[in-house]
Amino acid sequence: MPIESLNLQMLNVGFARQDGDWNWQDVNSPFTRIYCVTEGEARLHLPSKVISLTEGHLYIIPAYTTHSYECKGVFCHYYLHIYEGFKKETDVMELYDLPTEVIAQEGDAWLMEGMCKRHPDTILPESNPRSYDNTTKFTDYVRRYNEMPLHEKMQLRGAILMLFSRFMERATPKMWTQDERMMKVLEHIHRSIDGDINIDALAEEACITKPYLIRLFKKELDMPPLQYINRKKVEKAQLLLLTEDMAVQEVAWALGFNDHSYFIRLFKKITGRTPMEYRMMFN
């Protein structure tokens, strides 16, 4: 993946000291979190595992990952929230399996400390995700970054890529990335996420039969192509509901759904909430 496609934007950076009060449940946001732990210990509950957050390590939580925190004592860490928006190309998180935890290198904490000093206005108001995971705050943070001078964006981009590289160093390409047919199919899906995506067209793109495409897709990505398409559409819907002043029906139409009732059912099946419940959760 070309580095130019990693358009990582900083939303928040800061330092937090918790004292048994970092115990938030079922957090799910459209941005990626990176933590650098400097003191103490906490626990991170992910869908498939529980990780101990310990001093001297970096941690990454990809966007749209439901997770919870557990903290029983002193816990100090730098935090960085980065945002890519929704690009019509395959995301780096899909191309690679990134480790959740890596050993922090000398200078990583210093790097984050420098970001905090240069951008004190990006510190979170409090540790409760409800205080910053909301439509107003999110759009304010995105606007603030977009209005930064070019030299500040360049400095931030360099620092963010340096920290992100720690995880990429130990990342492994997913098996399907070696299959040119699958790459073409995924690229087609991302290019066409706003419209109706036909499975026959995907098979044609890959130059294989439709039944074989479905078997191959399920083998490589652990789900049939239609399920993957619906998940990507719902992820973009989450972003639109959080950042745009659009009615639910308009969001459904913008993503190629002719039946907004079906869109609502699909959204709830994947996220556990209706689109309106999801939007209200962030307001």
pLDDT value of position 4: 46
At the top level of CATH, the class of 3-173 is: mainly beta
229 is written with which tokens? Answer: 């398409």
> What is the rounded distance in angstroms from the CA atom of residue 113 to the CA atom of residue 167?
19
pLDDT value of position 88: 53
pLDDT value of position 89: 53
Angle at 232 between CA 175 and CA 221, to 5 degrees: 20
> What is the rounded distance in angstroms from the CA atom of residue 67 to the CA atom of residue 77?
17
> What is the rounded distance in angstroms from the CA atom of residue 102 to the CA atom of residue 108?
12
pLDDT value of position 206: 92
Strand partners, 67: 27
pLDDT value of position 3: 45
pLDDT value of position 90: 60
Is there a shared CATH topology between the 3-173 domain and the 175-281 domain? no
CATH number assigned to the domain with residue range 175-281, chosen from the 4 options 3.60.20.10, 1.10.10.10, 1.10.10.60, 3.40.50.300: 1.10.10.60
pLDDT means over runs of 10, the chain (283 residues) = 62 94 88 95 95 97 92 96 67 83 96 94 82 66 86 92 94 81 89 90 93 92 92 90 86 92 94 87 64
68 near 45, Cβ under 8 Å?
A: yes
> What is the rounded distance in angstroms from the CA atom of residue 202 to the CA atom of residue 138?
35
The domain segmentation of the chain, as residue ranges, is 3-173, 175-281
pLDDT value of position 191: 87
Write out 188-217 in H/E/C secondary structure: HHHHCCCCCCCHHHHHHHHCCCHHHHHHHH
pTM of the model: 0.79
> What is the rounded distance in angstroms from the CA atom of residue 252 to the CA atom of residue 194?
10
pLDDT value of position 87: 54
